[in-house]
Structure 1
Amino acid sequence: MSDAAARETLALLDGHSLAYRAFFALPEDLATSTGQLTNAVYGFSTMLVKLLTEHHPDRVAVMFDQGRPTQRLEVLPDYKGHREETPDALRSQLPLIDEVLDALAIPRVSREDTEADDLIAAYARQAVGADMEVLVVTGDRDAFQVVDDHVRVLYTRRGVTDTVLMDAAAITEKYGVEPARYPMLAALRGDPSDNIPGVPGVGDKTAAKLLSDYGDLDTLLARVDEVSGKRGAALAEHAEAVRLGYRVACLDAELEVPVALDALRMGEPDLEAVRRVFATLEFRQLWERLDSQVLRPATAQAGASLDDVAVERAGPGDLAGWIAARRAEAEIAVVAQVAGHRPHRRLTAVGLAGDEAVAVAAELDELAEQDRAALGELLADPNRPLVVHGAKGLRHGAGGWGWSLAGVVLDVELAAYLCQPQERVYDLEALARHRLGVELAGDTEDAGQLALDVAADRQRVGLAAHALDRLVPTVRADLAEREQLALHDEVELPLTPVLARMEAAGIAVDLAVLEDLAGSLGSRVDALRAEIHSLAGREFNPDSPKQLQQVLFDELGLPKTKRIQTGYSTDAQALAPIADPHPVVERLLDYRE
């Protein structure tokens, strides 16, 4: 058998277990700006990203419960009978979890009237037989029974991020039995989550001691008369319940699986779909982690780059010739490298692409006067259609040479904002990665910055222009699909020169007035803080939610507000309804303003 390090690792996730854990662990008010609850899908996605970034499985799939576990219900009619129906707030998020998985091309597997942990047991058995390592991700301890030399469990203890990696040694140390006998221990101890009754008064340690003394459940129950005292009497009384509990606690590793083992692998993620889903759910930080640590490295590993794209490096006289050779009606993609602070900026290098020509790049200080004149005329000609990324910045940079900018027909940065206004950045590098599946920054230390800033050489600027030219069809299609073309063409784009002129003109500021205002506000804040301390009876930091909770709810005994993950809410909306019982609340609200 091959060495473990050389084996492929298959990660099997219990979808419903992780979704439930996330839903009940994270704040109920975790939602998007449109009101869509996201605590379950956020927690699930966090666990998924944690798995992909920290454990790097070769294969991954998510198992889901489907229907009623009829076989277990036939054995134990009250199996999970105490559980309430899935809350609507959680049920509404399950399709969102499906969207996340589908965008990432991660298989979802379910089987009629089957629980996810049975599927996990069956696939784990097959995977070990196929010479794989298996990592089970779940909050259900039933999965401990499948652990062996090649199967481990990443167990979520609390929430979804507090995890512990359980191998055979860890399970034996914690529960006193090896993994294969864990269902026996569960049958004796009972499992409230599954409504398995167990034996009254028997916990983990007692169950482990009994199994250690008698070897297995059948032997223990056959010799129950040897167990003295109340414990023996309880075992005898509940022997049948223990037998039934053991039957439902055992997972069905021989189950016929609905999807072949070989299909349980992550496919090629739809980068645009992933970005769109995470943007819609407003998972910005989670997206950045997934993008930088999973998607971007995968793209780079797949060899998706522009390194093989030809770029003409223009010397004196070359740029004017390239521009003259282009058709007057052809759209030209323009990427500029600039220096200086807005609005006092100046073009230092430029990349041009379009008209099915090889992209060209040049540093302006190295060009002949005729090249710079041709570039200035191209930018200023209202009849030469230009595609840019950041029209304002290009306008400022051109102004540093005394040129104007007139022919812009598409600003890709602006269009990206119109299509996805909830995003935080719209740099060319990210757009190329997610829309085209290519890298502009390569392995440079500045990866993640605007493509025209990642390197000073002309090759990089030319590649950026090439990518910008390739982005045009997909960006225009997005605008059309969202019915935003008119907004871009008739409102936003014509507004950019106005905004650029405003930035160039600046704003007049009366420093003396601002200093007087700062002084008066500072005095007011100091006075309010002193009044708050006097009303509370002691000094504390009113900007600290933890200290504020202690003063308001523990010391002053005010009515508790909405429950949150860190205690009780102290935001203005939560405090307003309890302003009457004590004057300190009103002063706090004034202080917050």
Structure 2
Amino acid sequence: MEKILLLDSNSIMNRAFYALPPLTNSEGIHTNAVYGFVNMLFKLYEEIKPDYVVAAFDRKAPTFRHTEYADYKAGRKKMPPELAEQFPIIKEVFEAMGIKKFEIDGYEADDLIGTLATFSERNGLEVYILTGDRDALQLASDNIKVIITKKGVSEKEIYDRNRMIEDYGVTPQEFIDVKGLMGDSSDNIPGVPGIGEKTAFKLIQTYKSIENLLTNIDEVSGKKLKENLMNYREQAIFSKKLATIITEVPIDMDIDDIKSKETSNHEALRKLFFKLQFKSLIDKIPHEKIQEAEGTIEASSNIEIISISSAKELQNLLENIKEDEISYWNFDIIHKDFYTKTAIKEIYIAADDKVYTLDIDILEKDENFFKNLKRFLENETFKKVCYDSKNAYTALSKYEIDLKGVIFDIMVAAYLIDASKGDYPLVTLINEYLGEDPMSLGAQGAVAANGYMTKLYEILNKKLHEEDMDELFYNMELPLTKVLSSMEVLGFKVDREVLNTLGIKFKEEIETTQKEIFDMAGEEFNISSPKQLGKILFEKLDLPVIKKTKTGYSTNAEVLEQLQDKHPIIDKITYYRQLTKLNSTYIEGLRNVIDEDGCIHSSFNQTVTTTGRLSSTEPNLQNIPIKYEMGREIRKIFIPFTTDSVILSADYSQIELRVLAHIAKDDNMISAFKENIDIHTKTASEVFRVPLEEVTKLMRGRAKAVNFGIVYGISDFSLSKDLKITKKEAKEYIDIYFDRYPGIKEYLNGIISVARENGYVKTILNRRRAIPEINASNKVVRSLGERLAMNAPIQGSAADIIKLAMVKVYNELRDNKLKSKLILQVHDELIVNVHLDELERVQRIVKEAMEGVLELLVPLETDMHTGKDWYEAK
């Protein structure tokens, strides 16, 4: 039996919009509803494999229900503009997918679906209806299955006639009578006062219909219920009418029209997905394959793909490249288990609409191959444009090739232009900026993509200039690729003996903490089981229940925080969780990533965060929790490369507050930093109205919370929770703070207005952060946008400063031919492996580089320490 899938488009769009966080493409177009809808549709294609798909839409024109009942859907919230703007887009997607669309004035999508469903069933089709509205359950039958989305669009339930009876105890037809009795607040269908869902189902299970119920009204028990049924009998019948889906809308169609497939346009759909930046969905679009000829492939874009199979062929190619000509490079890297075994699989060289592929597995057997390649790659006069140059530097270092002459990085430039994507595949950038689709070439599309890098370079370079990001790119981000690669290659040496000793210590501490928890609980249980922990906390210890889930009590971190002062067991459980996480991630976890050279080689990600901060993975050395001493002790594992070296840690002092003082131009805060007064003590003195010398440790701690809270747009409610004070006290702290630092208040208000007008904010060095949330109709989302607008210029500028410092420190160490090396960056801290005979010189270089990297209205200061390991240096 052939299958047809009917889409209740308005319902699914609404569900997807509220289920997913705000998403926008680089043009600021909202896309979350479309993305959620299409993603679910692709999943259904795989599961159901429909032969035909039809989409129904509501129209703005009033329906017959509005005509008969003026209050129909009255009071329903107006559709947010962020959702409304996505309906033309989903229709465009459907057109490209070959999905028929139906919408008729005077009828809702429900009625069109009801008509199409019954018509299709009569003509021998198996029908599936996708909707988020339970009203459609009345359409279920043996051959009509209703797919109800749950939890937004991530889960679903499928109902036919039998499933309806099993789950609800009524037939699909009887479900209409249930709706007539209970009404529907979302559609403003009145129903019968006093009758809720439970009573409505019970009555219809017994009497099968409203009409039969009213005929046998004397049998109904309950005086008030009987009175309401008598008094509102006509309203019940009318509500049933309003809730009934029409199955005979006058649509001019026949079964051949329904069954005729509209032609899907894969090329148009791919371009649309590129525009919308639906990266995860692009690969699901079929594409036509091209024929591969021997040696050379001629693509429709006039790009030739040519295989280089010998050192002689490579030499001939390189001899024909003129020194002033720009060559375009991409490196495809395979990582084999450990860092030191990383190998290159292929290298692509693109020039003059030709892409040359170098298969390393074949060519490395020729002893002259790497000599020729090294001579070319290390020649600075041959200027090179790369895609992901950091990985190129890192991979080539294994072959003792020092790549030089890189003048541009496509991936890094694309990240600066739009930092919100998090991922920048070359083919996506080609489609977005050039309107071309290399993947239409089939299997060779990814290779052919390298041939477009000339045009991409020209466009992205121009865009960087237009957005005043030349300095950011050429002075910081591009040279930083070399710095990050160097850090990856060097790694951070690990003391295995200390690691093993710490492993024993962690095991003992976990067991001790576990026993203390058991003693407090009066029994043993699985602390890691939320169900068992919930019973201990909320039943045995009778602590107040904060939050419940479908499976029982919630015991997440937020709940434990609210219970912190209710019982000493809470602190122990929090500590236990931290210990077990530290043990699995940094004790057991680090054992698995120590390379053959005894070092851990983390990967540094330059194009991931929206703030401009770096991140590290495999492992993440930037996120070792140091709240507890056991967490701090993990740093003892990390040691210098040699016995005649030490670890140097150089950390910016209060960098974000200094940036805030500079951006806000607040005289009071600027003078505090210039006079070298502790800013938290100064703030405490201002807020609590006491002389500097009378500021207590508690006062300073609270002032510190206010200082950093202001940077993140903290509210009086959040501050009151953080400091465990009343909301009124918290508001007073914030009000006094803004009274003493008026420039900061003015800045925060101003930057919100700038974000609202432009849709983005900028750092000191013009790094952009798009903030689409700032103009959202949803208050919660809009408030998030305001906080981001306040914080992004501060956090982003701090990120820019540390990156500039990294480049400067790296260059100074290299240019002075020092043995000491920069090996790690953690937020505002630089870690250097320093040879003892270079210590004073390196300390001076690092301090001068970090403090002189950018001129602000306040001085930049660094705290510097050395030690036999990272722990001691910190």
Same fold (TM over 0.5): yes
1:59/1:266 contact within 8 Å kept: no
C-alpha distance in structure 2 between counterparts of 1:383 and 1:231, whole Å = 95
**Corresponding residue to 1:299 among 286, 289, 306:** 286
**2:48 maps to amino acid:** H
**Corresponding residue to 2:83 among 90, 94, 103:** 94
**1:411 maps to amino acid:** D
In structure 2, the residue matched to 1:508 is 493
In structure 1, the residue matched to 2:313 is 318
**2:286 maps to amino acid:** T
In structure 1, the residue matched to 2:728 is none
In structure 2, the residue matched to 1:410 is 408
In structure 2, the residue matched to 1:353 is 350
User: What SS class does the counterpart of residue 306 from structure 2 fall into?
Assistant: strand
**1:311 maps to amino acid:** I
CA deviation map 1:523-577 (0-9, x unaligned): 4333333222222322333333333333223332323335666655534444333
In structure 2, the residue matched to 1:166 is 159
User: What SS class does the counterpart of residue 492 from structure 2 fall into?
Assistant: coil
**2:541 maps to amino acid:** L
**1:351 maps to amino acid:** Y
Alignment of 1:57-456 (within 5 A): 57=50, 60=53, 63=56, 71-76=64-69, 79=72, 85-86=76-77, 91=80, 94=83, 98=87, 101=90, 104-105=93-94, 115-122=108-115, 124=117, 134-146=127-139, 151-156=144-149, 160-167=153-160, 181-182=173-174, 185-186=177-178, 190-192=182-184, 195=189, 197=191, 207=204, 227=216, 229-230=218-219, 239-253=233-247, 255=249, 268=266, 271=270, 274=273, 288=280, 291=281, 295-300=282-287, 302-303=288-289, 309=299, 310-316=304-310, 317-336=312-331, 342-343=339-340, 345=342, 347=344, 349-357=346-354, 359-362=356-359, 363-365=362-364, 367=366, 369=368, 372-415=370-413, 417-418=415-416, 437-439=437-439
2:309/2:363 contact within 8 Å kept: no
1:122, CA displacement in angstroms?
4.8
User: What SS class does the counterpart of residue 562 from structure 2 fall into?
Assistant: helix
1:336/1:394 contact within 8 Å kept: yes
2:6/2:129 contact within 8 Å kept: yes
1:68/1:113 contact within 8 Å kept: yes
User: What SS class does the counterpart of residue 326 from structure 1 fall into?
Assistant: coil
1:132, CA displacement in angstroms?
6.9
C-alpha distance in structure 2 between counterparts of 1:55 and 1:328, whole Å = 58
Gaps of 5+ in 1: 280-286, 444-459
**Corresponding residue to 2:521 among 514, 536, 543:** 536
Residues 1:480 and 1:98: Cα distance change in structure 2 (over 3 Å): farther
C-alpha distance in structure 1 between counterparts of 2:204 and 2:550, whole Å = 35
1:59/1:265 contact within 8 Å kept: no
- Whether 1:496 and 2:481 are equivalent positions in the alignment is yes
2:16/2:34 contact within 8 Å kept: no
Name the Cα RMSD after superposition. Answer: 5.1
User: What SS class does the counterpart of residue 359 from structure 1 fall into?
Assistant: strand
In structure 2, the residue matched to 1:283 is none
**Corresponding residue to 2:7 among 12, 22, 30:** 12
1:386/1:407 contact within 8 Å kept: yes
2:353/2:451 contact within 8 Å kept: no
Residues 1:546 and 1:335: Cα distance change in structure 2 (over 3 Å): same
**2:235 maps to amino acid:** A
Residues 1:57 and 1:364: Cα distance change in structure 2 (over 3 Å): same
Gaps of 5+ in 2: 24-29, 579-627, 629-874
Normalising by the residue count of structure 1, what TM-score does the alignment of the two structures yield? 0.69
1:114, CA displacement in angstroms?
5.4
**1:94 maps to amino acid:** L
Stretch deviating more after TM superposition (93-102 or 401-410): 93-102
Residues 1:325 and 1:533: Cα distance change in structure 2 (over 3 Å): same
**1:152 maps to amino acid:** K
1:147, CA displacement in angstroms?
5.1
**2:133 maps to amino acid:** D
User: What SS class does the counterpart of residue 525 from structure 2 fall into?
Assistant: coil
1:332/1:385 contact within 8 Å kept: yes
Percent of aligned pairs with the same residue?
Answer: 24
C-alpha distance in structure 2 between counterparts of 1:164 and 1:479, whole Å = 50
C-alpha distance in structure 2 between counterparts of 1:274 and 1:557, whole Å = 53
User: What SS class does the counterpart of residue 137 from structure 1 fall into?
Assistant: strand
CA deviation map 1:495-550 (0-9, x unaligned): 22223333333323334444444444444333333222222322333333333333
**Corresponding residue to 2:533 among 542, 548, 571:** 548
C-alpha distance in structure 2 between counterparts of 1:428 and 1:441, whole Å = 15
1:359/1:466 contact within 8 Å kept: no
Residues 1:432 and 1:343: Cα distance change in structure 2 (over 3 Å): farther
C-alpha distance in structure 1 between counterparts of 2:473 and 2:80, whole Å = 38
**1:547 maps to amino acid:** Q
**1:155 maps to amino acid:** I
**1:241 maps to amino acid:** Q
Q: Which has the higher contact order (CA 8 A, sep 6+)?
A: 1
In structure 2, the residue matched to 1:468 is 450
In structure 2, the residue matched to 1:527 is 512
User: What SS class does the counterpart of residue 534 from structure 1 fall into?
Assistant: helix
1:429/1:440 contact within 8 Å kept: no
Residues 1:38 and 1:557: Cα distance change in structure 2 (over 3 Å): farther
Stretch deviating more after TM superposition (323-332 or 474-483): 474-483
Stretch deviating more after TM superposition (376-385 or 240-249): 240-249
1:345/1:399 contact within 8 Å kept: no
User: What SS class does the counterpart of residue 508 from structure 1 fall into?
Assistant: strand
C-alpha distance in structure 2 between counterparts of 1:377 and 1:359, whole Å = 17
Residues 1:65 and 1:573: Cα distance change in structure 2 (over 3 Å): same
C-alpha distance in structure 2 between counterparts of 1:389 and 1:319, whole Å = 21
CA deviation map 1:371-395 (0-9, x unaligned): 5444322211222222333323333
2:350/2:451 contact within 8 Å kept: yes
C-alpha distance in structure 1 between counterparts of 2:321 and 2:85, whole Å = 48
In structure 1, the residue matched to 2:762 is none
1:188, CA displacement in angstroms?
6.3
Residues 1:432 and 1:206: Cα distance change in structure 2 (over 3 Å): same
User: What SS class does the counterpart of residue 298 from structure 1 fall into?
Assistant: coil
**2:351 maps to amino acid:** G
2:386/2:410 contact within 8 Å kept: yes
Residues 1:129 and 1:240: Cα distance change in structure 2 (over 3 Å): same
**1:352 maps to amino acid:** I
1:315, CA displacement in angstroms?
3.9
1:406, CA displacement in angstroms?
0.7
C-alpha distance in structure 2 between counterparts of 1:337 and 1:40, whole Å = 35
1:408, CA displacement in angstroms?
1.9
User: What SS class does the counterpart of residue 581 from structure 1 fall into?
Assistant: coil
Report the number of matched residues: 535
User: What SS class does the counterpart of residue 142 from structure 1 fall into?
Assistant: helix
C-alpha distance in structure 1 between counterparts of 2:283 and 2:349, whole Å = 26
In structure 2, the residue matched to 1:585 is 570
Residues 1:177 and 1:133: Cα distance change in structure 2 (over 3 Å): same
CA deviation map 1:254-283 (0-9, x unaligned): 55789998999976565576478678xxxx
1:137, CA displacement in angstroms?
1.1
Stretch deviating more after TM superposition (228-237 or 490-499): 228-237
